[in-house]
Amino acid sequence: MAEPVPFRWPIRVYWEDTDAGGVVYHAGYLRFLERARTEWLRARGVDQLAFKQATGLAFLVARMELDFLRPALLDDELLATVSVKKRGAASILFDQTIERADGACLVRAVVRVACVDMTRMRAAPIPASLIPPISP
């Protein structure tokens, strides 16, 4: 079951995010989504570098599905949302969106992030104390 209220992270579109026409380049949305997931973890008290140094574990994107619905433009104010759809033993399935401040949905994404033992480069269980399982 998904989290009831999505985490929201504000974004402003800068020149560096756009193509020559002032439209956000498609790969820019990946950075926006990544930053929102990072801030989602940080809001839960998880410093990813400290976590990796202490446990040897890290979170890596295993799969993404994106629907580009509308373009974002230079200087737009956006909100990236993060909601846990499902938490498995070694992965988290996120629903994410990027919306304009006026509420228009620009991008919908489903992202699976795996917890990986960085020494062995194999999936590893997510510590329950870090991100508790989502109740069904």
- Tell me how far apart the alpha carbons of residues 5 and 71 are, in angstroms, rounded to a whole number: 25
Q: Does 19 qualify as catalytic in the annotation?
A: yes
Which tokens belong to 114?
């795996």
CB 59 within 8 A of CB 130: no
Domains and CATH numbers, the chain: 7-123 (3.10.129.10)
Ranges assigned E (strand) in 32-76: 57-68
Dump pLDDT digits (tens) for 49-80.
999 999 999 999 999 999 999 999 999 999 99
Q: Please, what is the average pLDDT of the chain?
A: 93
Look at residue 129 in the predicted model and tell me its pLDDT: 80
Annotated catalytic residue, options 17, 19, 47, 76 = 19
Dump pLDDT digits (tens) for 22-31.
999 999 999 9
State which amino acid sits at residue 35: R
Res. 115 pLDDT band, cuts 50 70 90: very high
Dump pLDDT digits (tens) for 35-44.
999 999 999 9
Is the confidence at residue 5, as pLDDT, over 90? no
Q: Is residue 117 packed enough to be buried (19+ CB in 10 Å), middle (13-18) or exposed (0-12)? A: middle
- Kindly compute the dihedral angle of the four CA atoms of residues 36, 38, 43, 48, in this order, to the nearest 10 degrees: 180
State which amino acid sits at residue 129: S
Q: Is residue 81 packed enough to be buried (19+ CB in 10 Å), middle (13-18) or exposed (0-12)? A: buried
